[in-house]
Structure 1
Amino acid sequence: MSPFCVLHAEPDAHWKRSINSTNSSIMNKQALTVAVLLTVLVGGVLYFTNFLQSPILRLTLAIKSSYLDSVESVQHAVDEHFNQQRTIIDLRQKNRFYEQELLNLHQVADEYQKLLQEHNSTFRIIPDSSLVRTLSYVRFGDPHRVWIEMEKFDPKRVYGLLYRGYAAGIVVSKNKRPIALLNGDVKSSYAVNIGVTMAPGIVRGNNSRRLIVEFIPTWIPIKVGDEVLTSGLDRIFMAGLKVGKVISITRASGYQSAVIEPYFYGKNPAYFHVITKVR
């Protein structure tokens, strides 16, 4: 090897060492820069996480509180609804019981009055009656006839129909099924007495709100405002049940007729009482 080649190789080796040193320095600086950036980034994340955590937590708690309040409100509403429903059912049952008690008390009062007049009267406290349920109109557009649900129905009989102690019509058979002819129906008729003179007559419907009492003897005085009560002589009703009040009177062919305003007309309640047996 010539001296020129030796001299030329030495500067080459020095230059390579210098380049390697420079590259190492640059890499160290880059690593340091990355480490610093990571540190800053992690610190920022932690800082802003703590900074944002408080309002987010408050919002979450507010939403949860609102949800729980809504759930409680709905639960209270449901509880209140079922409590009201139970109360309504209880009141309906009590109302039916009191209707029966009113009927019993009326019978007691009527029998007691008769007992005072006639000491030998046989005394019966409770009339036989049953609670019946309305099913539907017999014919749409006719409010005076309804099908009813009735146990121990005898198609050969005519029954008296009551609503809250008032005479409401009669029950007859149609196709061997019980049908209620309410006050107002032309075929709903039964025996009545009018006023303090106890003038007898037969009340019937007129396909209107008012009822007509016919065949009232002319020699028995009656007047507007007199109360009309069942007589019980047809054995459909017991005596003394309220029917209505006289609002006008006419005379013709040896009889009087009276138009009355009934206490019950066309209400079509869900339940009636039926007199199944009278004394």
Structure 2
Amino acid sequence: MIPFDEGRARLLLAQACESAGLAAPDGATLLALGENAVFDLGDPAVVAKVGRGPELYDRAHRELALAHWLAGQDVPVVRPYDAVAPEPQLADGHPVTFWHRLAPAVRPARPVDLAQLLRALHQLPPPPFTLGRRDLLAPVERWLASAEGHVDPADVAFLRHRRNAFEAALPDLVPRLHPGVIHGDALPRNIHVGPDGPVLLDLEFMANDLREHDLVVLALSQDRYGVPAEEYRAFTEAYGWDVREWPGFTVLRGARETASASWVAQQAASNPAALKEFRRRVDSLRDGATEVRWYPF
């Protein structure tokens, strides 16, 4: 398997730009490297997302469709770059999408900004196309398999066991909120606060599922990623409910933690810091240490 690192992503980006009729991205700036490699092309004012693997094509295609639909629902959202074809470009099988670059942020996004956008999103009707469920645990096997030979097999076995246990528990959850459209990865990092206010980003995990999914993310972030208690309190006040009051919170939190620990594994082969973080996460889950700090990638 060819490693998906910055060098590989740049080669794929160059292929996609050529197919899309865009200038060679020689000066592109890498913004993020995870499930996608995200690049700022500079000129034109475009951001490109290069998918880690061909299996992400359907998700990339759906993200473009959702962006157009949300804009039509008056939800502030990042816009696909309309000078290229309205579907992902393929570069050696990898999906590549192009987006208008947003105006520079006027300040960092805060949890209260996220709460306001989630309230609007959670009031929307279903889109005119099918959205699947938010299956947090579906990619776990792919992430763990990509780390074989680079992480402790006992850690992989532990995470697989957790995945199986939570997969069995999730169908029995009884929601407090009416299910419907969710963002699926509801974090302040997926909000951009520009001159016209907060804008919703990263629509790849949008789904039709329990609204509680979108609220558990920030509750977990207070414990694991250092979101201050007062910021979390402002979030719950702006949204109107604290998901920690819900009996299903522990199950949904545990499933998300399992997925988050497994996600880091896919970078362990090429990133020593990722391997260290993977071990930190797995050890804290084994020990039941729910407030051990995790660090984002």
Q: TM over 0.5: same fold?
A: no
TM-score (norm 2): 0.20
TM-score (norm 1): 0.21
Which has the larger helix fraction?
2
The structure, 1 or 2, with the larger RCO (C-alpha pairs under 8 Å, 6+ apart) is 2
Which has the larger strand fraction?
1
